[in-house]
Amino acid sequence: MKVFDSPAAWRGFRAGLEAPGFVPTMGALHEGHLSLVRRSQDENPWTVVSVFVNPTQFDEAADLAAYPRQVEDDLDRLREAGVDAVFLPSAEDLYPDDYRYRVSENQLSHRLCGAHRPGHFDGVLTVVLKLLNLVRPARAYFGEKDYQQLQLIRGMAEALFLDVDIVGCPIVREADGLARSSRNRRLAERDRRLAPELYRVIRNSGSAEDAGAELAGLGFEVDYVEDIDARRFAAVRLGEVRLIDNVPLEAGHS
């Protein structure tokens, strides 16, 4: 496995090679990330993974500071998974303009998580565009847990005529139903026991309003529960940890 820590080194290696599959991550890798890696390996001649905690998508400095970082463990997991290359850029590498230039979307990005995290999706779209331009993959893989993000990235790729297929992959869950997330490791023991109720409630409640009320009654701080385009989206907080999830709606849900 080859590891590159600068755009110049990466570009020197990438030149002349056929297009890879690409899995962009913020590290603290878990089985959800590795499922994306395996999908890429099945569908591409080689696979590159990026590990970069993107500062521009955090709306709270404390959240950025607390985000788990374990690069050596991540590299071990990726090496064991048979990844061909890893890109480890710095913030200075990716933002030489000090974030003066950015990508904005003015409809979907203002709903759901965007309504509660101002500027979040500007940061997401900007860094993804930069990474896609550097990696130049045939396909890039994103998990459906961040379904709003996935839809925004697909829309950006289409609107800006990017020559890449944006591939969405199913949510990977723990045995108790909690969606896999790097943030889960920050949950206090009591909160970790409660967290799977998020999935149970949004899957089984008859309406978004009922789901929000039940979650609040269980002790979650509810940012939102909304039904949009036959899918239910939710974001909640347990202590200092924000969790998101979504489920497709079956017939009969309002």
The token pair that represents 31 in the structure block: 């089985």
Residue 138 structure tokens: 């045939």
State the catalytic residues: 33
Q: Decide: 243 and 195 in contact? Cβ < 8 Å.
A: yes
Residue partners of 128: CB distance under 8 A and separation at least 6 = 24, 140, 153, 156
Whole-number Cα distances in Å, 212 to 4, 190, 198, 201, 215? 44, 20, 10, 9, 5
Q: Would you give the end-to-end CA distance of the chain in angstroms?
A: 49
Beta carbons of 57 and 124 less than 8 angstroms apart: yes
